Protein backbone atom coordinates (compact mmCIF):
# COMPACT_ATOMS: atom_id res chain seq x y z
CA UNK A 1 0.00 0.00 0.00
CA UNK A 2 1.12 3.56 -0.69
CA UNK A 3 0.95 6.33 1.90
CA UNK A 4 -0.19 9.62 0.34
CA UNK A 5 -1.27 13.03 1.61
CA UNK A 6 -4.27 15.17 0.86
CA UNK A 7 -2.62 18.48 0.06
CA UNK A 8 -5.91 20.36 0.17
CA UNK A 9 -5.71 19.83 3.95
CA UNK A 10 -1.98 19.33 4.64
CA UNK A 11 0.89 21.77 3.99
CA UNK A 12 -1.63 24.56 3.49
CA UNK A 13 0.90 27.29 4.28
CA UNK A 14 2.34 26.77 0.79
CA UNK A 15 0.91 27.42 -2.68
CA UNK A 16 -0.88 24.30 -3.90
CA UNK A 17 1.74 23.19 -6.43
CA UNK A 18 4.57 23.69 -3.91
CA UNK A 19 2.88 21.23 -1.55
CA UNK A 20 3.99 18.30 -3.74
CA UNK A 21 7.63 18.96 -2.86
CA UNK A 22 6.70 19.31 0.81
CA UNK A 23 4.86 15.98 0.67
CA UNK A 24 7.81 14.30 -1.03
CA UNK A 25 10.24 15.69 1.55
CA UNK A 26 8.00 14.44 4.37
CA UNK A 27 8.13 10.91 2.94
CA UNK A 28 4.78 10.54 1.21
CA UNK A 29 4.45 8.41 -1.93
CA UNK A 30 1.94 10.68 -3.66
CA UNK A 31 -0.83 13.19 -3.09
CA UNK A 32 -4.51 13.75 -3.66
CA UNK A 33 -6.31 17.05 -4.17
CA UNK A 34 -9.94 17.74 -3.39
CA UNK A 35 -10.95 20.35 -5.98
CA UNK A 36 -8.15 21.72 -8.16
CA UNK A 37 -8.99 24.96 -9.95
CA UNK A 38 -8.44 25.47 -13.66
CA UNK A 39 -5.48 27.77 -12.97
CA UNK A 40 -3.86 25.10 -10.77
CA UNK A 41 -3.44 22.52 -13.53
CA UNK A 42 -0.31 23.79 -15.31
CA UNK A 43 1.65 24.48 -12.07
CA UNK A 44 0.60 21.08 -10.74
CA UNK A 45 1.73 19.34 -13.91
CA UNK A 46 5.13 21.01 -13.57
CA UNK A 47 5.32 20.00 -9.90
CA UNK A 48 4.45 16.40 -10.74
CA UNK A 49 7.25 16.29 -13.28
CA UNK A 50 9.72 17.98 -10.94
CA UNK A 51 9.01 15.87 -7.84
CA UNK A 52 8.08 12.53 -9.39
CA UNK A 53 5.06 12.35 -7.06
CA UNK A 54 1.76 11.29 -8.63
CA UNK A 55 -1.55 12.99 -8.01
CA UNK A 56 -3.54 9.85 -7.25
CA UNK A 57 -7.07 11.25 -6.89
CA UNK A 58 -9.16 14.38 -7.40
CA UNK A 59 -12.86 15.02 -6.84
CA UNK A 60 -15.54 15.83 -9.36
CA UNK A 61 -16.35 19.52 -8.71
CA UNK A 62 -18.90 19.83 -5.94
CA UNK A 63 -20.93 22.80 -7.21
CA UNK A 64 -20.97 26.39 -5.97
CA UNK A 65 -21.23 28.07 -2.59
CA UNK A 66 -22.01 25.57 0.14
CA UNK A 67 -22.93 22.75 -2.23
CA UNK A 68 -21.35 19.42 -1.31
CA UNK A 69 -21.83 17.58 -4.58
CA UNK A 70 -24.33 17.47 -7.44
CA UNK A 71 -24.63 13.78 -8.28
CA UNK A 72 -27.94 13.07 -6.52
CA UNK A 73 -29.75 16.28 -7.48
CA UNK A 74 -32.39 15.62 -10.16
CA UNK A 75 -32.55 19.26 -11.25
CA UNK A 76 -28.77 19.60 -11.60
CA UNK A 77 -27.93 16.74 -13.95
CA UNK A 78 -26.72 19.03 -16.71
CA UNK A 79 -24.45 20.85 -14.25
CA UNK A 80 -23.18 17.55 -12.88
CA UNK A 81 -22.29 16.21 -16.30
CA UNK A 82 -20.46 19.43 -17.14
CA UNK A 83 -18.50 18.96 -13.90
CA UNK A 84 -17.62 15.40 -14.96
CA UNK A 85 -16.26 16.66 -18.28
CA UNK A 86 -14.16 19.28 -16.49
CA UNK A 87 -12.88 16.65 -14.07
CA UNK A 88 -12.02 14.26 -16.90
CA UNK A 89 -9.90 16.95 -18.53
CA UNK A 90 -8.12 17.66 -15.26
CA UNK A 91 -7.58 13.97 -14.61
CA UNK A 92 -6.04 13.48 -18.03
CA UNK A 93 -3.80 16.54 -17.66
CA UNK A 94 -2.54 15.41 -14.25
CA UNK A 95 -2.35 11.66 -15.03
CA UNK A 96 -4.76 11.04 -12.17
CA UNK A 97 -5.75 7.40 -11.60
CA UNK A 98 -8.93 7.94 -9.57
CA UNK A 99 -11.73 10.47 -9.18
CA UNK A 100 -14.21 10.73 -6.33
CA UNK A 101 -17.90 11.64 -6.52
CA UNK A 102 -19.75 13.44 -3.72
CA UNK A 103 -23.47 12.70 -3.85
CA UNK A 104 -24.62 16.06 -2.54
CA UNK A 105 -27.28 17.44 -0.21
CA UNK A 106 -30.85 17.39 -1.60
CA UNK A 107 -33.10 20.36 -1.01
CA UNK A 108 -35.83 20.13 1.60
CA UNK A 109 -38.75 18.08 0.35
CA UNK A 110 -36.79 16.32 -2.41
CA UNK A 111 -37.97 12.80 -3.26
CA UNK A 112 -35.36 10.35 -1.89
CA UNK A 113 -36.22 7.76 -4.57
CA UNK A 114 -35.69 10.31 -7.34
CA UNK A 115 -32.39 11.37 -5.77
CA UNK A 116 -31.23 7.76 -5.60
CA UNK A 117 -32.15 7.13 -9.25
CA UNK A 118 -30.32 10.29 -10.28
CA UNK A 119 -27.24 9.31 -8.28
CA UNK A 120 -27.10 5.86 -9.83
CA UNK A 121 -27.61 7.24 -13.34
CA UNK A 122 -24.90 9.85 -12.81
CA UNK A 123 -22.47 7.31 -11.34
CA UNK A 124 -22.88 5.05 -14.36
CA UNK A 125 -22.33 8.03 -16.65
CA UNK A 126 -19.21 9.07 -14.74
CA UNK A 127 -17.86 5.52 -14.79
CA UNK A 128 -18.33 5.36 -18.58
CA UNK A 129 -16.63 8.72 -19.18
CA UNK A 130 -13.69 7.90 -16.93
CA UNK A 131 -13.28 4.38 -18.33
CA UNK A 132 -12.40 5.97 -21.66
CA UNK A 133 -9.33 7.61 -20.10
CA UNK A 134 -8.38 4.76 -17.74
CA UNK A 135 -9.57 6.44 -14.53
CA UNK A 136 -11.44 4.66 -11.73
CA UNK A 137 -14.50 6.25 -10.11
CA UNK A 138 -15.12 6.32 -6.37
CA UNK A 139 -18.24 7.30 -4.46
CA UNK A 140 -17.88 8.41 -0.85
CA UNK A 141 -20.32 8.11 2.06
CA UNK A 142 -19.98 11.06 4.45
CA UNK A 143 -21.09 11.19 8.06
CA UNK A 144 -24.21 13.31 8.73
CA UNK A 145 -22.76 15.04 11.78
CA UNK A 146 -20.15 16.94 9.76
CA UNK A 147 -22.41 17.42 6.72
CA UNK A 148 -26.07 17.47 7.80
CA UNK A 149 -28.41 16.49 5.00
CA UNK A 150 -25.77 14.70 2.93
CA UNK A 151 -27.52 12.10 0.81
CA UNK A 152 -25.14 9.15 1.01
CA UNK A 153 -24.35 8.34 4.64
CA UNK A 154 -23.19 5.04 6.06
CA UNK A 155 -21.67 1.95 4.56
CA UNK A 156 -24.87 0.10 3.71
CA UNK A 157 -26.26 3.05 1.76
CA UNK A 158 -23.07 3.33 -0.28
CA UNK A 159 -22.65 -0.37 -1.06
CA UNK A 160 -26.34 -0.58 -1.92
CA UNK A 161 -25.95 2.15 -4.53
CA UNK A 162 -22.82 0.48 -5.91
CA UNK A 163 -24.58 -2.86 -6.15
CA UNK A 164 -27.53 -1.34 -7.99
CA UNK A 165 -25.34 0.72 -10.32
CA UNK A 166 -23.49 -2.51 -11.13
CA UNK A 167 -20.65 -0.98 -13.15
CA UNK A 168 -17.13 -2.46 -13.30
CA UNK A 169 -15.57 1.01 -12.97
CA UNK A 170 -17.34 2.03 -9.76
CA UNK A 171 -15.75 1.65 -6.33
CA UNK A 172 -16.07 2.80 -2.73
CA UNK A 173 -13.98 5.54 -1.20
CA UNK A 174 -13.62 4.28 2.38
CA UNK A 175 -12.70 7.02 4.83
CA UNK A 176 -11.80 5.71 8.29
CA UNK A 177 -12.99 8.98 9.83
CA UNK A 178 -16.47 8.99 8.34
CA UNK A 179 -16.94 5.25 8.86
CA UNK A 180 -15.82 5.46 12.50
CA UNK A 181 -18.69 7.89 13.09
CA UNK A 182 -21.41 5.90 11.32
CA UNK A 183 -20.50 2.23 11.83
CA UNK A 184 -20.56 0.26 15.11
CA UNK A 185 -17.09 -1.24 14.56
CA UNK A 186 -14.53 0.08 12.09
CA UNK A 187 -12.64 -3.18 11.52
CA UNK A 188 -15.87 -5.05 10.87
CA UNK A 189 -16.96 -2.32 8.46
CA UNK A 190 -13.68 -2.66 6.55
CA UNK A 191 -14.24 -6.39 6.19
CA UNK A 192 -17.83 -5.84 4.99
CA UNK A 193 -16.71 -3.22 2.49
CA UNK A 194 -13.85 -5.32 1.11
CA UNK A 195 -15.36 -6.16 -2.31
CA UNK A 196 -15.95 -2.47 -3.04
CA UNK A 197 -12.97 -0.58 -1.63
CA UNK A 198 -11.08 1.36 -4.28
CA UNK A 199 -9.49 4.13 -2.22
CA UNK A 200 -8.85 4.76 1.49
CA UNK A 201 -8.55 7.94 3.53
CA UNK A 202 -8.01 8.50 7.23
CA UNK A 203 -8.19 10.96 10.08
CA UNK A 204 -8.73 10.29 13.75
CA UNK A 205 -12.16 10.59 15.33
CA UNK A 206 -13.55 12.61 16.89
CA UNK A 207 -11.94 15.84 15.73
CA UNK A 208 -10.62 14.83 12.29
CA UNK A 209 -7.03 15.51 13.34
CA UNK A 210 -3.86 13.41 13.18
CA UNK A 211 -3.78 9.74 14.14
CA UNK A 212 -3.32 9.53 17.89
CA UNK A 213 -5.49 12.56 18.60
CA UNK A 214 -8.74 10.60 18.91
CA UNK A 215 -10.07 7.13 19.57
CA UNK A 216 -9.52 5.13 16.37
CA UNK A 217 -7.41 1.99 16.78
CA UNK A 218 -5.38 2.42 13.61
CA UNK A 219 -3.32 -0.72 14.23
CA UNK A 220 -6.48 -2.82 14.12
CA UNK A 221 -8.00 -0.87 11.24
CA UNK A 222 -4.89 -1.15 9.06
CA UNK A 223 -4.62 -4.87 9.81
CA UNK A 224 -8.27 -5.28 8.79
CA UNK A 225 -7.48 -3.40 5.59
CA UNK A 226 -4.48 -5.65 4.89
CA UNK A 227 -6.68 -8.68 5.44
CA UNK A 228 -8.95 -7.55 2.58
CA UNK A 229 -6.04 -7.71 0.13
CA UNK A 230 -6.27 -3.99 -0.63
CA UNK A 231 -3.02 -2.77 -2.20
CA UNK A 232 -3.82 0.82 -3.19
CA UNK A 233 -3.29 4.26 -1.71
CA UNK A 234 -4.05 5.20 1.88
CA UNK A 235 -4.40 8.96 2.19
CA UNK A 236 -3.88 11.28 5.14
CA UNK A 237 -6.93 13.54 4.90
CA UNK A 238 -7.05 15.30 8.22
CA UNK A 239 -6.91 18.76 9.74
CA UNK A 240 -3.48 19.22 11.32
CA UNK A 241 -3.86 20.31 14.92
CA UNK A 242 -0.96 22.71 14.38
CA UNK A 243 1.82 22.73 11.79
CA UNK A 244 1.61 19.82 9.33
CA UNK A 245 5.25 18.80 9.64
CA UNK A 246 5.15 18.89 13.45
CA UNK A 247 2.24 16.45 13.48
CA UNK A 248 3.70 13.68 11.33
CA UNK A 249 4.89 11.46 14.18
CA UNK A 250 2.30 8.85 13.25
CA UNK A 251 3.99 8.10 9.91
CA UNK A 252 6.54 5.62 11.24
CA UNK A 253 3.92 3.27 12.67
CA UNK A 254 1.79 3.60 9.54
CA UNK A 255 4.74 2.76 7.32
CA UNK A 256 5.34 -0.40 9.32
CA UNK A 257 1.65 -1.38 9.17
CA UNK A 258 1.41 -0.77 5.42
CA UNK A 259 4.64 -2.53 4.46
Catalogue the active-site residues: 140, 237
The rounded distance, in Å, linking the Cα atoms of 82 and 254 is 38
Do residues 201 and 173 make contact, with C-beta atoms less than 8 angstroms apart?
Answer: yes
* Nearest-5° Cα angle at 233, 232 to 234: 125
Nearest in space to 177 (alpha carbons), one of 220, 139, 219, 221: 221
Q: Is the dihedral of CA 180, 87, 16, 22 positive or negative?
A: positive
Do residues 143 and 105 make contact, with C-beta atoms less than 8 angstroms apart?
Answer: no
The rounded distance, in Å, linking the Cα atoms of 51 and 22 is 10
Q: What are phi and psi of 74, to 5 degrees?
A: -60, -30
DSSP 61: P
Do residues 178 and 141 make contact, with C-beta atoms less than 8 angstroms apart?
Answer: yes
Amino acid sequence: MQLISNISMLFTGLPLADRLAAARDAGFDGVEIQFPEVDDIDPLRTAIDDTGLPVVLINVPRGVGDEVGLACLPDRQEDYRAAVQLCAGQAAALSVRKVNVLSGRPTAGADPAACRRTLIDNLRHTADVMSDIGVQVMVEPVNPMDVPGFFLTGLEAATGVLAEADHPNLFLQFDFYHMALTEPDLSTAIARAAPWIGHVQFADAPGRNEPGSGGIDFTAALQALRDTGYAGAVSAEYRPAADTAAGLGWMKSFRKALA
